[in-house]
């Protein structure tokens, strides 16, 4: 259930009308996957309960805006305007072009639509950081002598 909250419920609640910013491929496709799964479940329930297509159509209507918003943020990640989603209306070619764009890696670093979401989100710090001990001067001498004996070059070993 944690995945449902992370990839569907939280983005839907927090970014329902959010057309600004960028979305990674993983964010977009996980949201898309949950929408497809829920659409299938709602369609089955609608048929079993005798509502025909009513529930499925209401579900599609309720999640049309967040899907468009997620698409816009995904296009922003590759440096394109969200308005490019209108290319869906071009038969066959539009779907192919959008699919290629949606699976493409986003631009590294910031672009005119915002910071790179791969470096600003989904990054968790380690639970505990163990400092690396500072070597003392005697360990340097040991390491140098080991490297010269094992085939390393030094000015004294060549004579």
Q: Which residues contact 72 (CB under 8 A, 6 or more apart)?
A: 19, 82, 85
Q: Is residue 71 part of a domain?
A: yes
Q: Is residue 146 part of a domain?
A: no
Q: Is residue 21 part of a domain?
A: yes
- pLDDT tens sequence for the chain (159 residues): 677 666 566 766 777 777 888 888 888 888 888 889 999 999 999 889 888 888 889 988 988 988 999 899 999 999 999 999 999 899 999 999 999 999 998 888 888 888 888 886 544 444 544 555 565 655 555 554 444 454 544 445 454
| 8-state DSSP, 23 | -
Instruction: Please list the alpha-helical segments (H only) found in 49-152.
Output: 54-62, 64-77, 93-103, 117-120, 137-149
Phi, psi of 111 (to 5 degrees): -130, -170
Residue with tokens 């390491």: 143
This prediction's pTM: 0.64
Q: Is residue 158 part of a domain?
A: no
Please write the tens of the pLDDT for every residue from 83-92. Answer: 999 998 999 9
Q: Is residue 92 part of a domain?
A: yes
Q: Is residue 124 part of a domain?
A: no
Number of structural domains found in the chain: 1
Q: Is residue 149 part of a domain?
A: no
Range of 56's domain? 2-119
pLDDT value of residue 20? 85
Q: Is residue 83 part of a domain?
A: yes
Rounded Cα distance, 116 and 110, in Å: 5
């Amino acid at each position: 259930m944690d995945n449902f909250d992370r990839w569907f419920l939280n983005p839907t609640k927090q970014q329902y009308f959010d057309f600004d910013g960028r979305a990674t491929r993983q964010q977009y496709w996980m949201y898309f996957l949950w929408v497809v799964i829920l659409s299938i479940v709602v369609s089955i329930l609608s048929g079993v309960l005798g509502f025909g297509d009513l529930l499925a159509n209401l579900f599609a209507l309720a999640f049309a805006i967040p899907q468009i918003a997620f698409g816009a943020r995904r296009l922003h990640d590759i440096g394109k305007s969200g308005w490019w989603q209108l290319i869906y209306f071009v038969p066959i070619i539009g779907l192919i072009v959008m699919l290629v764009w949606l699976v493409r890696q986003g631009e590294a670093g910031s672009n005119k639509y915002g910071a790179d979401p791969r470096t600003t989100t989904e990054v968790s710090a380690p639970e505990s950081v163990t400092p690396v001990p500072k070597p003392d001067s005697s360990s340097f001498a040991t390491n140098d002598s080991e490297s010269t004996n094992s085939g390393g070059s030094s000015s004294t070993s060549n004579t």
